[in-house]
């Protein structure tokens, strides 16, 4: 995948002088990358000039020890089937998707898959560059200390901090729950996070979504892993109301200008990841016998946005609670 998350890893590998190859599906994208390179901004701007061997179409791919899967979850299954053909004997793929992507692929042994949880926000800007709004870790799930884990950590740090964990599921659910708040509400209202969480009704909806996700996590007996810089979903769900509102308001102020990836997809008229984010919570809740009415409403409303039956509107916030 050659999107924002892929670009963040290219930046780290480039700065560390680690050889890498970007795999693309079509020649047009390859030409664009070779012509323009990749511009990435965290604190400073890094411009990565790409040579011919560093960008290949899938048909030109060789064998690789590690393949980072940076595409969106709806495209993961087909991409994983392609990637398998290009792994070395002991090669591994690293899943970087939102939601619970491990269940979206088949044909791999468990030891061939590394869960990668991205603990930072990166987005494509209007000028074609990428912007990372906050420093953060890439969290890698490992079953035991291995040479592999240390190789990946060394290849990416210090430009991309890496946290190794034996509990990737716990970190996945921490991020999934927080994503279910930020992405869904941004999409249905059309608001960036600052104006969104300045509204009391939006914060009320956010609190409800967090509490629904926490209830599912408890039913599944998830041992929560807290993404560095984030907050415990369990704790947030149980805080007094005034403190919940304050935390969410501060979150909005901190990332005031961020338009969520789901809202950006609606803007572009492309399919969102609502089924992989909110839908994953609904599916898990159904199996656990837990009701998640607001999360289910978000899924239905975003589907309506995808089909053009409705448009983002702040009035949706009132309809969530029957007023």
Instruction: Pick the most confident of 112-126, 132-146, 168-182, 255-269.
Output: 168-182
DSSP secondary-structure letter at 104? G
Distance of CA 140 to the CA centre of its chain: 14
Q: Reply yes or no on whether the pLDDT at 149 is more than 70.
A: no
| Closest alpha carbon to 1 in 71, 58, 100 | 71
> What is the arithmetic mean of pLDDT over 161-179?
94
pLDDT digits (tens, 9 = 90+) for 200-258: 999 999 999 999 999 999 999 999 999 998 999 999 999 999 999 999 999 999 889 88
CA nearest 47: which of 36, 56, 58, 55?
Answer: 36
Contact 80, 105 (CB under 8 A): yes
Q: Which of 134-143, 202-211, 264-273 has the lowest mean pLDDT?
A: 134-143
pLDDT of residue 238: 95
What's residue 322's pLDDT? 60
* pLDDT of amino acid 160: 96
Kindly provide the b/e burial profile for residues 194-222, where b requires at least 16 CB atoms within 10 angstroms of the residue's own CB. bebbebeebbbbbbbbbbbbbbbbeeeeb
In the three-class reduction of DSSP (H, G, I as helix; E, B as strand; rest coil), residue 232 is classed as: coil
Give me the pLDDT at residue 146, please: 57
**Predicted local confidence at residue 148, as pLDDT:** 61
**Is the separation of the CB atoms in 37 and 48 below 8 Å?**
yes
Asked whether the predicted pLDDT for residue 144 surpasses 70, the reply is no
- Model confidence at 143: pLDDT above 70: no
Question: Which neighbouring-strand residues pair with 41?
Answer: 45, 131
Between vectors from CA 166 to CA 165 and to CA 171, what angle results, nearest 5°?
60
Q: How many CA atoms lie within 13 A of 63 on its CB side?
A: 5
pLDDT of residue 16: 96
Residue range 18-68, pLDDT digits in tens: 999 999 988 999 999 999 999 999 989 999 999 888 999 998 989 999 999
Distances (CA, A) of 36 to 19, 21, 128: 19, 16, 9
Provide, rounded to the nearest whole percent, the portion of the chain with pLDDT above 90: 78
The mean pLDDT value for 264-276 works out to 92
Q: Which pLDDT score is estimated for 126?
A: 84
């Amino acid at each position: 995948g050659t999107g924002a998350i892929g670009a963040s890893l290219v930046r780290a590998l480039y700065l560390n002088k680690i050889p890498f190859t970007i795999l693309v599906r079509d020649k047009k994208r390859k030409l664009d990358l070779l012509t323009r390179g990749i511009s990435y901004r965290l604190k400073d701007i890094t411009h990565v000039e790409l040579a011919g061997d560093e960008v290949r179409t899938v048909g030109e791919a060789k064998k690789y020890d590690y393949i980072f899967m940076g595409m969106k979850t709806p495209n993961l299954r087909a991409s994983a089937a392609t990637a398998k053909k290009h792994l070395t004997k002991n090669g591994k793929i690293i899943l970087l998707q939102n939601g619970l992507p491990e269940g979206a692929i088949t044909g791999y042994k468990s030891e061939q898959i590394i869960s990668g949880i991205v603990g930072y926000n990166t987005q494509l800007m209007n000028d074609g560059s990428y912007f990372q709004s906050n420093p953060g870790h890439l969290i890698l799930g490992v079953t035991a200390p291995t040479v592999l884990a240390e190789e990946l950590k060394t290849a990416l740090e210090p430009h991309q901090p890496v946290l190794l964990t034996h509990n990737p599921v716990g970190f996945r659910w921490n991020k999934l729950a927080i994503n279910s708040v930020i992405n869904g509400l941004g999409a249905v209202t059309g608001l960036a996070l600052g104006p969104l969480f300045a509204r009391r009704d939006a914060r009320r909806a956010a609190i409800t979504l967090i509490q629904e996700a926490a209830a599912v996590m408890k039913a599944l007996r998830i041992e929560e892993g807290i993404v560095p810089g984030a907050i415990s979903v369990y704790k947030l769900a149980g805080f007094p109301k005034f403190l919940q509102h304050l935390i969410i308001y501060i979150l909005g102020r901190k990332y005031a200008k961020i338009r969520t990836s789901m809202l950006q997809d609606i803007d572009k008229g492309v399919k969102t990841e609502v089924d992989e984010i909110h839908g994953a919570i609904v599916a898990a809740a159904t199996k656990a016998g837990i009701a998640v009415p607001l999360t289910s409403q978000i899924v239905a409303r975003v589907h309506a946005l995808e089909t053009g039956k409705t448009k983002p509107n702040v009035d949706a916030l009132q309809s969530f609670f029957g007023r």
